[in-house]
Amino acid sequence: MSSPSIFDPPPGPPKHILCVGAAVMDTIFRVRTLPQGQGKVLPYDMLQIAEGMASSAAYAIVRLGGNASLWGAVGDDETGKRIIREIGETGINVEGMLRVEGARSAVSTILVDDDGERLIVPFYDPKLHHTVKQFTTGDIAAFDAVLVDVRWPALALQVLKAVKAMGKPAILDGDVAPDGIIELLAPEATHIIFSEPAAQRLTGANDIPETVLLLKQRFSHAFICVTAGAAGSYRFNNDGGKIEHCPTLPAKAIDTLAAGDIFHGAFALAIAEGMAPGDAIRFSSVAAGIKCGVFGGRLGAPLRRNVLAMNEIAYEP
């Protein structure tokens, strides 16, 4: 376990990743089965936790030994205070968080059943992301990489441009978004990790490797990967010009909520640390796979030593 690993961080201080996007107060109920229409469902467990795409990714980075800063927006309400405080308590730098006057903080309810299936009810106040946080080049010079999600596109666009201009990794979490958002952000990203539904929506194709090829044709400047849940991830290998597959951990999923975000956070840190893209994908895949075995959204994000140990068990037996 103590032998050197390709997943070890490089010498020097931890890399610092800026995450831009969602910060939400989630209420996660654990139920035996998901409801069908009206009535009452009695959950047997419940958790309230501040998370969201960029927030959970930032949490994964901190758990894996990196530094993370979060730029997101909350409302000027009690929930907003709580979101910032809870995320700050995890070690994520929240100095760049914005409190938007007259807006309500994002809240979401998620039901997770015993098969790991989910029902999500997310509420976003449109006013939350009307403003764009002001920043200077100096503000982002300290970061080694940036990861943006699709929740705050106007800010994400400016940040991607600024970071890319510095020659640093500018990573896009290409999840399902309103029409035009991915098309807006993708040209400015150096690495794009698409979710399967987003990849299918963008390409019109169903076959995952085919979506990878079509997306690579469209965004040829960037590293392209599509994550497909239990089916693993597929990426375009720029060296060989081929599609490569990385399977997930062979374990029953307890809770896949935030698994994608953990993947993106791990990937951003790995890229910032200089890991080769293929290794970074496997690192991220193991981190996300461990998360799926733990109920509680982002709380399942593993420590780096857990990723290393699990990688040895799963891939190097």
Q: Which spans of this chain sit near a copy of itself (rule: CB under 8 A)?
A: 27, 29, 31, 34-43, 46, 48, 78-79, 82, 104, 107, 109, 111, 113, 117-123
Radius of gyration of the chain (CA): 18
Q: Is the dihedral of CA 149, 153, 159, 163 positive or negative?
A: positive
Residues 6+ apart with CB under 8 A from 169: 144, 145, 146, 163, 190, 191, 268, 271, 272
Which residue shows structure tokens 């100095």?
A: 95
- 17: nearest Cα among 274, 265, 279: 265
Please name every residue paired with 286 in a beta bridge, in sequence order, or none if there are none. none
**Minimum CB distance to a copy of itself, residue 110 (Å):** 9
DSSP for residue 205: -
**Cβ proximity to a copy of itself, 39 vs 167, nearer residue:** 39
Report in angstroms how near the CB of residue 232 gets to a copy of itself at its nearest.
Answer: 21
To the nearest whole angstrom, how small is the minimum distance from the Cβ of residue 8 to a copy of itself? 38
Q: Can you read off the two tokens belonging to residue 210?
A: 């085919």
Q: How far is the CB of 77 from a copy of itself (least distance, A)?
A: 9
111/157 with CB nearer a copy of itself: 111
Q: How far is the CB of 129 from a copy of itself (least distance, A)?
A: 16
| E strand or H helix that includes residue 140 | helix 137-141
Residue with tokens 């400016």: 158
Residue among 107 and 288 whose Cβ is closer to a copy of itself: 107
Angle between helices 304-315 and 277-291 (to 10 degrees): 100
Cα distance between residue 289 and residue 282, in whole Å: 10
- Which DSSP helix (H) or strand (E) runs through 121? strand 118-123
CB of 70 to a copy of itself, least distance (A): 20
Residue 40 beta carbon to a copy of itself: minimum distance, rounded to whole angstroms: 5
Contact 307, 60 (CB under 8 A): no
